[in-house]
Amino acid sequence: MTAVLGETAAPTTFALAQNFPNPFNPTTTMAYQMDQAGRVELAIYDLAGARIRILVSAPQTAGRYIIQWDGTDAQGQQAASGIYFYRLSTPRGKK
């Protein structure tokens, strides 16, 4: 699920917020903002660096976004308990 927050002023920075809740069960929410339009990829990785799931892979306009991860992998299976990282990639950089 991706949501665009309804604000009129575009963000002035590119940022990725801490997920919440953390630790999570069964879902966690991530928020990010883009100060310019571009292709976005938001992906989940395990401690070994293996990509577990891509949550967003699409062009997006400047704005603030919220997305939930339900703890499942790319095949829809529940990911193992453990520590996961998420990475936001845009034309402005990676976080």
Check if the beta carbon of residue 68 is closer than 8 Å to that of residue 84. Answer: no
Per-residue pLDDT tens over the stretch 30-88: 999 999 999 999 999 999 999 999 999 999 999 999 999 999 999 999 999 889 999 99
Residue 2 has pLDDT above 70, yes or no: no
Cα(42)–Cα(85) distance, rounded to whole angstroms? 10
* CATH topology classification for 2-94: Immunoglobulin-like (2.60.40)
Check if the beta carbon of residue 42 is closer than 8 Å to that of residue 32. Answer: yes
Ranked by mean pLDDT, the top range of 21-25, 27-31, 50-54 is: 50-54
Closest CA to 52 of 79, 22, 21, 29: 79
The token pair at 87 is: 């990475």
Residues 21, 73, 94, 8: what is their CA dihedral angle, to the nearest 10 degrees? Answer: -60
